[in-house]
């Protein structure tokens, strides 16, 4: 993958595009990666996803949900995207599933823990490179220790940086020797938690040893994924990223932050120069029974407008309006709030399907608006609109776990029981 900067603005971030080498397809940045589980868009078949978008998207795949597919992929000759039914879609291979909370601990000197549906697995540098060579993604991240968050101690943060440097030495060596890996773009991890000194140490090592092998940078270690990413605040994250980006933006390489960051924080990061995000925010909202409803259009806001519609609310029982009045997604065009509330009550599988259709469509349209705003150098206006939504108080976009429990007889059929 090749990264090209098309437009650079001090006040609105940067517009660019990723170019897929084999096909020449271009993908605009800031880019919304489509998060997958086991290679599939959560809750959606390929045919249903085509109703969400006809465009070709970049797929984010995680080893946490796909490592068991190694043997099948070894025998399959059609490539990773073809194996999962999205032929010719570019792929980004990450280690962790951004949709699920990653437990702390389980670290060891020579391995990285991988939390899968089968339980905890371990990955050594040798095993990791072997997996990447089997998957053959367009982009893959380097092996790293990302087990840090806002509450991590200095000793844990320093260990994450030291272990990441050791892992990356092996990745650099293997990437330079392997003919298979040369066809993939290596995103170098920047570790260091919320410590500017440690982040600078990680950046210095990446530049000194990554060199021409580095195709981009990926920042982890700010949260434990899942809902914890939506709890990260601007006050916590932006000073650290401002410090790091000051050192990295001159490299003109794409920068990625995985996780379910809030729409407001995404905008603020884009303004600073971050290029790639994922769609796990849409999933985290859907599995907690929330439909995205924040607006990016200038309009007369209602005092009752909220960034989410909680479809568990009994007030929706006789609300026969769409989730959003002007939304063109399949869920809003064909169904109404009362019906989706009924699906929740009866634990029908169609419920989360419709919410994922709506939430993904909403995020995609949001990113189109972002592109327009950067091109017009008006991202600040969009930030203010998203931040206040026509009111005086900052809107809360954090996704909270829905603790309402469906009848036990219905669990596992459609909507799942949320964890508090």
For the chain, the structural domain boundaries read 2-286, 290-406
**Are 102 and 144 in contact, with CB atoms under 8 Å apart?**
no
Q: Annotated binding residue at 332?
A: yes
Digit-by-digit pLDDT tens for the chain (420 residues) are 888 888 888 788 899 999 988 788 899 999 999 999 999 999 999 999 999 999 999 999 999 999 889 889 988 988 898 999 998 899 999 999 999 998 887 777 788 988 888 888 889 999 999 999 999 999 999 999 999 999 999 999 999 999 999 999 999 999 999 999 988 999 999 999 999 999 999 999 999 998 889 999 999 999 999 999 999 999 999 999 999 999 897 788 999 999 999 999 999 999 999 999 999 999 999 999 999 999 998 876 765 678 999 999 999 999 999 999 889 999 999 999 999 999 999 889 899 999 999 999 999 999 999 999 999 999 999 999 999 988 888 999 999 988 775 544 444 445 554 443
Distance CA 254, CA 338 (A): 43
Distance CA 172, CA 183 (A): 14
Distance CA 405, CA 420 (A): 10
* Helix, strand or coil, per DSSP, at residue 287: helix
Number of other residues whose CB lies within 10 A of the CB of residue 395: 17
Q: Annotated binding residue at 327?
A: yes
pTM of the predicted model, to two decimals?
Answer: 0.92
Phi and psi torsions of 230, nearest 5°: -75, -10
Q: Annotated binding residue at 329?
A: yes
Q: Measured between alpha carbons, how far is residue 275 from residues 184, 203, 295 in Å?
A: 19, 17, 22
Q: Measured between alpha carbons, how far is residue 73 from residues 34, 305, 306 in Å?
A: 21, 47, 44
Joined together, the tokens standing for residue 273 give: 């120069």
Distance CA 94, CA 393 (A): 36
Joined together, the tokens standing for residue 59 give: 């797929």
Q: Annotated binding residue at 358?
A: yes
Among the CATH numbers 3.20.20.105, 3.40.50.300, 2.120.10.30, 1.10.357.10, which is that of 2-286? 3.20.20.105
């Amino acid at each position: 993958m090749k990264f090209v900067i098309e437009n650079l603005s001090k006040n609105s971030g940067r517009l660019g595009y990723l170019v897929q080498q084999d096909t020449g397809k271009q993908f605009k940045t800031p880019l919304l990666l489509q998060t997958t589980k086991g290679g599939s868009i959560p809750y959606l078949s390929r045919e249903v996803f085509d109703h969400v978008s006809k465009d070709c998207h970049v797929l984010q795949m995680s080893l946490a949900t796909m490592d068991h597919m190694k043997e099948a992929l070894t025998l399959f000759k059609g490539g990773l995207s073809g194996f999962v039914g999205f032929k010719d879609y570019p792929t980004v291979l990450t280690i962790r599933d951004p949709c699920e909370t990653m437990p702390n601990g389980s670290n060891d000197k020579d391995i990285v823990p991988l939390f899968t549906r089968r339980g905890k697995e371990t990955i050594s540098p040798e095993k990791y490179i072997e997996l990447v060579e089997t998957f053959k993604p367009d982009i893959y991240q380097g092996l790293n220790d990302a087990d840090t968050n806002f509450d991590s101690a200095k000793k844990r943060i320093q260990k994450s940086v030291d272990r990441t440097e050791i892992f990356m030495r092996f990745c650099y060596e293997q990437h330079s020797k392997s003919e298979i890996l040369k066809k993939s773009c290596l995103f170098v991890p920047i570790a260091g938690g919320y410590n500017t000194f440690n982040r600078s140490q990680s950046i210095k090592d990446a530049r000194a040893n990554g060199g021409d092998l580095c195709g981009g940078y990926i920042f982890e270690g700010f949260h434990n994924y899942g809902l914890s990413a939506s709890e990260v605040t601007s006050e916590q994250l932006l000073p650290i990223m401002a410090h790091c980006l000051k050192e990295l933006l001159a490299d003109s390489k794409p920068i990625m932050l995985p996780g379910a960051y809030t729409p407001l924080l995404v905008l603020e990061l884009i303004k600073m120069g971050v290029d790639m995000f994922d769609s796990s925010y849409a999933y985290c909202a859907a599995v907690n029974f929330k439909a995205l409803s924040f607006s990016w259009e200038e309009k007369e806001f209602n005092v009752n407008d909220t960034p989410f519609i909680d479809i568990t609310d009994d007030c929706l029982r006789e609300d026969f309006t769409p989730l959003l009045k002007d939304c063109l997604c399949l869920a809003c065009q064909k169904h109404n709030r009362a019906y989706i509330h009924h699906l929740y009550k009866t634990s029908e599988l169609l419920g989360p399907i419709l919410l994922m259709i709506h939430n993904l469509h909403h995020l995609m349209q949001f990113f189109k608006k972002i592109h327009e705003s950067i091109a017009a150098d008006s991202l600040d206006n969009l930030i203010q609109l998203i931040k206040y939504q026509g009111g005086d108080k900052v809107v809360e976009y954090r996704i909270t776990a829905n603790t309402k429990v469906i009848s036990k007889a219905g669990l596992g059929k459609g909507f799942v029981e949320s964890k508090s």
